[in-house]
Chain A
Amino acid sequence: MEEALKRAEELGASFADVRYTRVRTLVLVANETREYVESNGVTEGALLRVLVDGDWGLVSLRREPRAEDAERAVSNALGDRKSAVVYLKSKKAEVSLPLNPNPLNFSLEEKMKVVRRIRDEVMKLEGVKAVTVSYREVLHDKRYLSSDSRDVSQAYGYNGVSVTAVIKRGDLSLTVFDRFYSYKRFVLFDVADELIESMGRKVQEKMRAVSPKVGKFPVVMAPEVVGVFAHEAVGHLSEADLAVSGIFSDKLGKPVASEIVSISDSPMVDDEQAIGSIVYDDEGVEARKVEIIKKGVLNEFLNDRYYAAYLGANPTGNARAEGPISRPLVRMRNTHFEPGDSTREELVSEVNEGYLLVSMSGGQTNNDGTFQFGIDEAYEIVNGEVGRPVTFLGITGSTLETLKRVSGVSKELEFSPGFCGKMGQTVPVSDGGPYVRVDEVRVGGV
């Protein structure tokens, strides 16, 4: 790797870096018909980047790069000669965030036994016709080297279990989902009972759920939904590559939300489900907290080395790559609403007709500032009281309008794990927050 960097500099590169990654992945699946290994693999590879006369050239390959790969990267360089990066002080670091105990100390048979037990218990629930239980563990080993003398080695991983059940109510099929992940400990043996109990409650609620009304309503969003809102509706728009051409492009330093709204992206969170936690990013940059919105004012964007230079900002350590040969993109880590001073009960009590949104089936945001979320667990709120569960609903809206309609924030702070897709790459993240009331959101249901 050193040889490739040296050759790149000899060929005129003003900056070069290389990241070599080895990823070990295991996925075990049990559904009502099968028990099998979905994934059991090791992938290795490197990404070499060079900056030559203000143009980027990259080479990705499944081995350590050599001098001739630097020559290929330099010949690839193409553009308008305007690219630059922030240079950093030299640094040598070794970081290890091990899962404890090490999941590799347990056999596949021991792990499958627990996966099977969760499947069997969930299948016993009334109304459940199909269930899929997946256990996933992913372990990374990375080394980053750069021409500005950064040499950062990192070992970290995460593991967790997800459960999806399909229930039948007459002709209607509905999905119920839950999961638990950790970046700190091997969780499979510990969380099985908790997930079985949680699925039991969720299935019961779904069996008596009613269809929601379509229209505009006040909503109280629970921490999981608030976290996804912070991630999808605010976090993505604050990623510098999207921010420079999006609705936030001219709003730094300006109010964009109610004064009670503060949203941050944190690199390390103590909550074990904050699986987006990192110490250094994939450009060897120390990851730091980014206060995206501070008391309603747009404060800062997430960046990588290129966008830090482009915007004249301090690097934030948000460059992350999915796999060994993926190029780093500006990505979130653990994105969250900051807590406020209300209680959940106070927020609900002030809603005459609306919804309590508890958990998500997914979300998406768009560069024009609109968002769309699927809500798989929600309840009616009638005269300040939480009422019947509803089957499935989607909420859509404008991020800026919604942020200005936030009228209450509770004291809690909880995180949920997730997987974020962007430009064909998926990385582990977490989202979090308190309970938040929004005075009007567009609700679509089925």
Chain B
Amino acid sequence: MASEIDVYKALSRLKALGYQAEVFHTRLSEYAIEFDGSIRSETLEDEGYGLRVAKDGKMGFAYSTRLTEELIERAIQGWRVSKVDEANVIPPGESGITLSLVKFDLEKAIEEVRDSFPNLLEVPEWASVSHAGAEVALGEIEVASTEGSDKRSKATFSSAYIEGNAKVSSGVSPSVHSSSATRDLSATRSDALKEDFLFKLEIAKNEVEPKSLPSVVTLTPEALQDLLLPLLRFAVSTDNVYRKSSPLKLGEDFGTKFTVIDDPTLDEMIMSREFDGEGLPSRKVEIISNGVFVRSINTYYWARKANVEPTHSAIRTYATNPTAGFSNVIIKVKEVGEEEGLVVNSLRGVHTSDFASGAFSLSVGLAWNPKEGKAVKGLNLSGTLRDLLRGIRAEAGDERTVWNLKSRSLVVEGLKLA
């Protein structure tokens, strides 16, 4: 087995060879408990290193669970086949912001989750839990480079989910799913999660055929998380805009006064961070301002390539190159209205969409008529990302946080229900 070397020693060695270099090092300690008929309880220790090297306009990348000479050699091998491109450089070190992201003690949290998990599985007799889980974790990230970056950060994370059916006369209702994720331990404290699960089950157990198909839908934050965020992330990435692979155009006006902001600085939210995946200090970025697509999000490479301002939006694991991604997304609409048409709470299969055109045609998981509170079954929702953005009429209901999205429900016209 090859011996491991120190991060700084690896950087010094590469610098002596004339390379710029960057080590992205992560360590994760996690405890998870899951139920799917039986209960499993697991601790996980993960650690890995991603190494980028750059010289003469070429970039190489390799990763491993151990930092060894072999990793350095493989990164240099990769550098050799890279195309020359002046945007290929390791980002400079920049001082940044400080956030308080460690919200609990992991060992105490493990004890609490082990004690509280059985409570999550206790539901009324008319309901049944098929799957449930809870996890607590402490992650550490280090980004060090020959260019002056030397960042370290720790953050805690907790999440929980519950899935199941209601017993109905014909058998079981459609399954419903509720989940929650927070930096502190509130996600694993089961009352709110169970309340949401039972609320959805009450609706799902009264499922009816649609009488008519409205021209308006109200997309809850859960549905926006399912549909809007994946399509929008693709569309507003600088690489896709630059490569003409985005369905949207910078400067495009969607005609409605709404705003989409990516904000990694909100320390209570799940994707908050002090620096991005390239060690660059976190920035709040207004992507859509008063209905106009004003800024795309990027990695350092794509900011240089497209000659736009860096947004410090790199996300990655040690095993991947940086790509542009959302941190925490905040949506606000100027017009406030009421839930209308059909309330859509979950949509399935967004990965089957055509991301370049923004076209989607998805099965509706859970949707209900807001007046009767009964689930409507067997529906398909189709349209394009542009249809969706142009169709936003108002926001409705309470503002809620669903994973990395903070938003009210959006009332949207112009999508097709079938």
Which residues of A are at the interface with B, using a C-beta cutoff of 8 A?
Answer: 25, 28, 30-45, 55-62, 72, 76-80, 82-83, 108-109, 111-112, 129-130, 166, 168, 172-175, 214-215, 241-242, 244-246, 250, 306-307, 310, 324-325, 327, 360-364, 366-368, 370-374, 376, 391-394, 396, 398, 442-446
Q: Given the complex, which residues of B lie within 8 Å of A398, measured CB to CB?
A: 378
Residue of B at shortest CB range from A401? B378
Cβ-defined contact, B38 with A306, below 8 A: yes
B293: Cβ under 8 A from any A Cβ:
no
A36, B48: Cβ atoms under 8 Å? Answer: no
Contact between B243 and A108 (Cβ–Cβ < 8 Å)?
Answer: no
Within the assembled complex, what's the spacing in Å between the Cα atoms of A306 and B39?
11
Q: Are A108 and B382 in contact (CB under 8 A)?
A: no
Number of A-B contacts (CB under 8 A): 259
Interface pair B47/A32, CB less than 8 Å apart: no
Interface contact A77-B380, CB-CB below 8 Å: no
Can you pick out 13 interface pairs between chain A and chain B where the beta carbons lie within 8 Å of each other?
A: A30-B83, A43-B64, A57-B40, A57-B42, A58-B40, A59-B43, A173-B247, A214-B418, A245-B165, A370-B174, A392-B359, A392-B361, A443-B418
Task: Determine if A241 and B320 form an interchain contact, defined as CB atoms under 8 angstroms apart.
Answer: no
**Contact (A129, B244) CB under 8 Å given A37-B62, A361-B352, A373-B352:** yes
Asked if B349 and A364 sit within 8 Å, CB to CB, the answer is yes
Interchain CB contact under 8 A, A444 and B351? no
Would B130 and A245 count as touching, CB distance under 8 A? yes
Choice from B48, B80, B117 contacting A43 with Cβ under 8 Å: B48
Contact B37 A310, beta carbon cutoff 8 Å: yes
* B41 in the interface (beta carbon within 8 A): yes
* B353 and A244 contacting across the interface, CB-CB below 8 Å: no
Once A43-B48, A56-B38, A175-B357 are accepted as A-B contacts, the answer to whether A372 and B81 lie under 8 Å apart by CB is no
Please determine whether A366 and B363 come into contact, CB atoms closer than 8 angstroms. Answer: yes
Tell me if A372 and B354 are in contact (CB < 8 A): no
Binary interface encoding of chain B residues 75-87 relative to chain A, with 1 for a CB under 8 A from any of its CBs, else 0? 1011011110100
Chain B 337-364 against A: per-residue CB contact (8 Å), 1 yes, 0 no?
A: 0000000000011011111111111110
Of residues 61 through 98 on chain B, the ones whose CB sits less than 8 Å from some CB of chain A are 61-66, 70, 74-75, 77-78, 80-83, 85
A332 to chain B, nearest CB (A): 17
Contact B81 A60 (CB under 8 A): no
Are B41 and A62 within 8 A (Cβ)?
A: no
Q: Which A residues lie within 8 Å of B85 (CB)?
A: 33-34
Residues of A within 8 A of B48 (CB): 43, 62
Q: Are A241 and B321 within 8 A (Cβ)?
A: no
A362 touching B349, Cβ below 8 Å:
yes
Query: In the bound complex, do residue B81 and residue A28 qualify as a contact, i.e. CB atoms below 8 Å apart?
Result: yes
- Whether the Cβ atoms of A62 and B46 lie closer than 8 Å is yes
Closest to A44 in B: B65
- CB within 8 A of A37: which of B61, B305, B383? B61
Docked CA distance A241–B38 (Å): 10
Do A364 and B348 contact each other (CB < 8 Å), given the known contacts A34-B83, A38-B321, A59-B42?
Answer: yes
CB-based contact A109/B81 at 8 Å: yes
Q: Are A56 and B63 in contact (CB under 8 A)?
A: no
Q: Provided the pairs A83-B38, A109-B81 are in contact, do residues A372 and B175 lie with their beta carbons within 8 angstroms?
A: no
Which residues from chain B contact A109 at a C-beta distance below 8 Å?
A: 80-81
**Contacting pair B382 A214 (CB below 8 A):** yes
- Kindly provide the distance from the CB of B272 to the nearest chain A CB, expressed in whole angstroms: 21
- Tell me whether A40 and B77 are in contact in the complex, defined as CB-CB below 8 angstroms, given that A83-B39, A173-B356 are known contacts: yes
CB-CB under 8 A from A30, the residues of chain B are 83
By beta carbon, the residue of chain B nearest A56 is B40
Closest 10 CB pairs of A and B: A394-B361, A374-B352, A79-B39, A37-B78, A364-B349, A58-B42, A245-B130, A362-B352, A368-B174, A444-B361
B359 (CB) vs chain A CBs: closest residue: A446
Q: How many angstroms from the CA of A34 to the CA of B85 in the assembled complex?
A: 8
Q: Which residues of A contact B355 (CB under 8 A)?
A: 175
From residue A322, how far is it (CB to closest CB) to chain B in Å? 12
Contacts of A445 in B (CB 8 A): 361, 382
Q: Is the CB of A327 within 8 A of B81?
A: no
Residues of A within 8 A of B361 (CB): 372, 374, 392-394, 396, 444-446
Contacts of A43 in B (CB 8 A): 48, 63-65, 319
**In the bound complex, CA of A306 to CA of B40 (Å):** 11
B277 within 8 A of A: no
Q: Are B357 and A172 in contact (CB under 8 A)?
A: yes
Is A56 a contact of B41 with CB atoms below 8 Å? Answer: yes
